[in-house]
Structure 1
Amino acid sequence: MTTNALAPLYRNPVATRKLVVFGCFLVSAITLIPVVMMVLVAFQSDGESMAAKPSFWPSSWHPENLQRAFELVPLGKYLINTVIFAAGTTLLETITAALAAYAFARLNFPGRGWLFGIYLATLMIPSQVTLIPQFVLVAKLHGIDTWPGMILPHAFTALGVFLLRQFFLGIPRDYEEAARLDGANRWQAFLRVIVPLAIPAIATLAVFKFISQWNNLLWPLIISNTDATRTAAVGLQAFQDTNGTQWNLLLMAATITTVPLIVLFFLTQRWFIRGITMSGLGGR
């Protein structure tokens, strides 16, 4: 398509907007196809889901698969464990990332630029490379199959510090200086001025972290040995091992574990989008 062929779109913003909306709708529809197929198969009968020529649309709906999924494995326990794991890592990282980001954005100390650069360089190291050293360290500290052993290694990341630092740099120093003139110390200025203004960025970081840890499979898989700390992602694997090829029940369990993330996104969508556009991840 030549530039002359695209000229009418440039001169017609309404047509351009409709084309962009149609493109977004098409991409969204294609992305949702696996999710829709998962939900449809989840309500099929055992024989229909295991047929040699599967049909994704159920010939008859079986809502009792929901109860069967909870009866075959302790799915409720897995969901509670996932909430504890994801919420614990999210809470600790938002606290540690906010403190470190404030130090890099507001405090002047020797080597700050070099230290921040080295800290960001850790983002280039794949998590699989540090998996074995983390496991050995946690094992020496007797943290296998314990909540501290699962949560603490994932409570500190350079990405969260970078995200909040970019936002803190955009907050005018006048606000903080006014609080200092009113008698507030550095800690009070951080809690009463910086943190309230950074709520969108903090909420964005929290949503990113919660979703990533909710879907985390590798670390809970090697650390958790019992149902006491086993998360939903690991539980789905055990579900498949236990029940073979009962795809309808497996996908029903997967549907159940996906619903909380969908609800979370719609509840935090306003903060999520606002935080991305204001924190430097929106292309500014």
Structure 2
Amino acid sequence: MRRGAFSKGFIYLLLIAGGILMLLPFVWMISTSLKAPNQVMTLPPIWLPHPIEWSNYLHAWHTAPFARYLFNSIFVAALSTLGVLLTTILAAYAFSQINFYGRDVVFSILLGTMMVPGEILLIPNFVTLVKLGWIDHYEALTVPWMASVFAIFLLRQFFLSIPKELSYAAKMDGCSDFKYLWLIMVPISKPALITIALLQVIGSWNSFLWPLIVTNSMTMRTMPVGLMAFSSEAGTEYNLLMVAATMVILPMIILFIILQKYIIEGVTRAGIKG
């Protein structure tokens, strides 16, 4: 009994230590965002700035067109997420509920594409967008990311966990495949869909390399790319950079905290049946 309590206490101690280590970078980021420039690089480091420079947030907001960056990030994340949900629902239903010739082969090929590093596709995708005339347009930021093989795989696994008897009963009542998908399967799959949407929003929101490559003007840049506004040949304004980083990261942390139970449920249930 005592040995079990000791083991449990040791595990909790490790988890607490790991949690503190994970939080330290975020605490340092917020602390630095509230410092005066002469306090940023001091040794030993200052964890509690005095005085607290709340004006850093206003200064950073006006240093770069963050209102435009914020709009672009929200618009791109929302549009790409809607596209992913639509393509994922249709593809996952086809791969899980419709028996067509070569279904498993096509699905295996799709899964195989996940093994291709994304960096290899940057140049071919860029050339394609140049020929389409989409560079520095919202189409370049959204259309290439409106489908996700991982999302299709996740939702397919979730669809496979739904009893077949439900489909038979719906069809006996005269329900078509389209109605069965949107009126029965989609509502049942709410946890998986929320998981997919949240992962897509986070991925789109935090994307840096792709928006940097396919945009040229300041009006098309997103929040992560906007962080470069605080780095120049003269140096980096670390306090303002941490302000901007806080504005980028904080919405995603809040969103994850609110919806984390759906992520756990969606991923857990998706692995029930293969």
The partner residue of 2:102 within 111, 118, 131 is 111
**Equivalent residue number for residue 94 of structure 1:** 85
2:39 to 35, 48, 55: 48
- 1:158 paired with 2:149, answer yes
Shift of 1:51: 4.4
Structure 2 residue corresponding to 1:231, chosen from 219, 222, 229: 222
CA distance in 2, matches of 1:89, 1:224: 16
Give 1:249's aligned residue. 240
Q: Deviations over 1:122-174 (max 9, x none)?
A: 00001000011011101110101111111011111210110001111100011
Partner of residue 182 from structure 1, selected from 156, 173, 178: 173
Cα distance in 2 for residues equivalent to 1:283 and 1:119: 19
The answer on 1:142 being equivalent to 2:133 is yes
- 1:198 maps to 189
- Distance in 2 (CA, whole Å) between partners of 1:160 and 1:45 is 44
2:73 alignment partner AA: T
Could you tell me the percent identity over the aligned residues? 35
Q: 2:265 maps to what in 1? A: 274
Alignment of 1:14-53 (within 5 A): 14-51=5-42
Where do 1:53-68 residues align within 5 Å? 54-68=45-59
Letter in 2 for 1:140: K
Of the candidates 214, 220, 225, which is equivalent to residue 211 of structure 2?
Answer: 220
Change in 2 beyond 3 A, CA 1:112/1:274:
same
Which residue number in structure 2 is paired with residue 4 of structure 1?
A: none
Tell me which residue corresponds to 1:121: 112
Superposition TM-score, scaled by structure 1 size: 0.91
Gaps of 5+ in 1: 1-6
Contact 2:157/2:273 (<8 A) preserved: no
RMSD (Å), alpha carbons: 2.0
Shift of 1:52: 6.9
How far residue 244 of structure 1 moved from its aligned partner, in angstroms, is: 3.2
**Take 1:102 and 1:67, find their aligned partners in 2: how far apart are those partners?**
48
- In the alignment, residue 199 of structure 1 is paired with which amino acid? K
Question: Does the 8 Å contact 1:39/1:252 carry over to 2?
Answer: yes
Q: Contact 1:49 / 1:246 at 8 angstroms: preserved in 2?
A: no
Q: Which whole-Å deviations, capped at 9, do the CAs of 1:207-238 have from their partners, x for residues lacking one?
A: 11111111111110001111222101100023
Cα 1:187–1:102, aligned 2, differ >3 Å: closer, same or farther?
same
Answer yes or no: is the 8 Å Cα contact 1:50–1:245 preserved in 2: no
Alignment deviations for residues 55-78 of structure 1 (CA, whole Å, 9 cap, x no partner): 343132111111001011111221
> Does residue 62 of structure 2 align to residue 71 of structure 1?
yes
Aligned 8 A contact 1:50 1:246 in 2:
no
Residues 230, 237 of structure 2: 8 Å contact kept = no
* Residue range with higher mean Cα deviation, 161-170 or 264-273: 264-273
Shift, 1:54, TM fit: 4.5
Which whole-Å CA distance do the structure 2 matches of 1:243 and 1:146 have between them? 31
